[in-house]
Amino acid sequence: MARQRPDNFNLSLDADSELGLVDQVSAALARMIDSGQLRTGERLPSVRQFASAQGISVSTTVEAYERLVATGLVLARRGAGFFVQQRDAARNAGRPVIPSNPMIDSAWLLSEVFADDRVPIKAGCGWLPNKLLDAEGLHLAERRAVRASATQQVGYGHPYGYVPLRQSIAQFLGRWAMEVSLDQVVTTHGATQALDLIVRTMIKRGDTVLMEDPGYCNLLAILRLADVNVIGVPRLPTGVDIDALERLAREHRPKLFFTNPILQNPTGTSYTPACAMRVLQIAERHNFWVVEDDLYRELAQPTDPMLAALDGLQRVIYVGGFSKTIAPSLRMGFAACRPELARELARTKMALTLTSSELTERLVHTVLTEGHHRKHVERLSASLMSSQAHISARLEKVGLTPFAAPRGGMFYWARLDRTDMSAREIADRALQKGIWLAPGEFFQLSEPAYPWFRFNVAYSDAPELIEFFRKL
């Protein structure tokens, strides 16, 4: 039988404190549970008894108790009351289960790394540090969302996405002389979901598709899950290998070609205008679609070519997003294409996930339109350009050979020539030093001749990283 905690214990509460009463009550009870004053299995006073004894409202007590339940310190039993949880269970509540020695493999790269805080130097990660994101714009958007009426914060939203946000996306694409109507834009749960919707909508098992080699590792995983025939087109410092693209298109008759033309992940390189035109000509000649993953467009140079603008969205499906300039946690992307294809993508989206979050879409729209985002992107681009030059010089001094001269953006792609070890073996050694590297084979379809690595320049200015490669 559960022990009943006496009702006459008192908490020191200060109604004038900047810390609200709910926070004070929940924190005080949490300390009592953690210290053992409240023992496992004890029943807390009823809500009314506790409120009366402490001189606070019933609603304050309810909120404090529920907060303890949410954090796993207290268990609520319907009709019986609130009981102290076993402290070991409470302490671990909500924490991700992570292997004691994480292995650098594709599964860890694609999932567990996002929840693993034990590796201090994330030189191989694919996101920007908080200090470089648009925190001010996001906080402003959140405050506006809180003040909005409840009717604007509930419901599923539109299958194509929040209309004002889609209008902002159309205006953004209009900077490149693209005339885009609202029925050509579909919002998604991040740019990666947009790629997945395209795969699910347009190709079937056994079809052939082309993608860049090296290319986006998540896209490679999506294509393999779809059980399609994936053929790599070599990526060059100036874009893709045009001769290889022509030959592979003629031999294999692909349905789609996936490309990340500007500030590519992982190489950081961009198409030349000549490469862009040749890709579109080959697509027209061999009758395949081009999927333009343009996630890094806001960080690019104004003169960098956009395939969708050159093509007018006739044969190009354009994919974008906001995780690199606002915040990755928002998970908001989009696809722009022909109206009839956009309708099919929206149907696939509804079948898989229903609508995307309109609340998130409202936040993104506010950030894009409140007036500070353009200046933020300019500062971010300049910061990354500076980091590229700095990191490139330091890594070259310790024996790494760059794929191409840096042109801005997040990524720097380099190889280590003088070693008998594979990139994975080097990454395993680095992990023991608290350094996470992204081995090249995660991004490559063919077996690499050298150990390649993708570096995120925003995380690679660590003396330990440079010293690690110097000793290799």
- Tens digit of pLDDT for each residue in 201-221? 999 999 999 999 999 999 999
- Predicted local distance difference test score (pLDDT) of residue 6: 46
In whole angstroms, what is the distance from residue 45 CA to residue 53 CA?
A: 10
The mean pLDDT of 418-425, rounded to a whole number, is 88
- What fold characterizes domain 106-125+375-471? Aspartate Aminotransferase, domain 1 (3.90.1150)
pLDDT of 96 over the 70 cut: no
Architecture of the domain defined by 135-369:
3-Layer(aba) Sandwich (3.40)
The mean pLDDT of 319-339, rounded to a whole number, is 94
| Those residues with Cβ within 8 angstroms of residue 97's Cβ, 6 or more apart along the chain or in another chain | none
In 3D, which of 447, 446, 426, 448 has the Cα closest to residue 437?
426
pLDDT of 250 over the 90 cut: yes
- Predicted local distance difference test score (pLDDT) of residue 139: 80
- Predicted local distance difference test score (pLDDT) of residue 16: 73
Lowest mean per-residue pLDDT among 149-153, 222-226, 316-320, 434-438: 149-153
pLDDT of 90 over the 50 cut: no
Which strands form 452-456's sheet, in the order they lie side by side? Answer: 400-402, 411-416, 452-456, 438-439
Architecture of the domain defined by 21-92:
Orthogonal Bundle (1.10)
**Which residue carries 């989206």 as its tokens?**
349
Which range scores top for mean pLDDT: 89-98, 227-236, 372-381?
227-236
Q: Do residues 436 and 102 touch, judged by C-beta distance below 8 A?
A: no
- Predicted local distance difference test score (pLDDT) of residue 95: 46
- The reported pTM is 0.80
Chain-wide mean pLDDT for the chain?
89
Pairing state between β 185-188 and 333-336:
antiparallel
**Structure token digits, residue 401:** 């050979």
Lowest mean per-residue pLDDT among 127-136, 149-158, 172-181, 342-351: 149-158
The mean pLDDT of 388-404, rounded to a whole number, is 95
| Those residues with Cβ within 8 angstroms of residue 225's Cβ, 6 or more apart along the chain or in another chain | none
What pLDDT band is residue 98 in, cutting at 50, 70 and 90? very low
Crossing angle of helices 242-252 and 273-286, in 10° steps, is 10
- Predicted local distance difference test score (pLDDT) of residue 408: 93
Task: Name the residue ranges covered by the structural domains of the chain.
Answer: 21-92, 106-125+375-471, 135-369
Dihedral angle over CA of 321, 327, 328, 332, nearest 10: -40
Pairing state between β 289-293 and 316-321:
parallel
- Predicted local distance difference test score (pLDDT) of residue 365: 93
- 119-152 residue pLDDT tens: 889 999 999 998 898 877 888 877 877 676 655 5
- Predicted local distance difference test score (pLDDT) of residue 199: 98
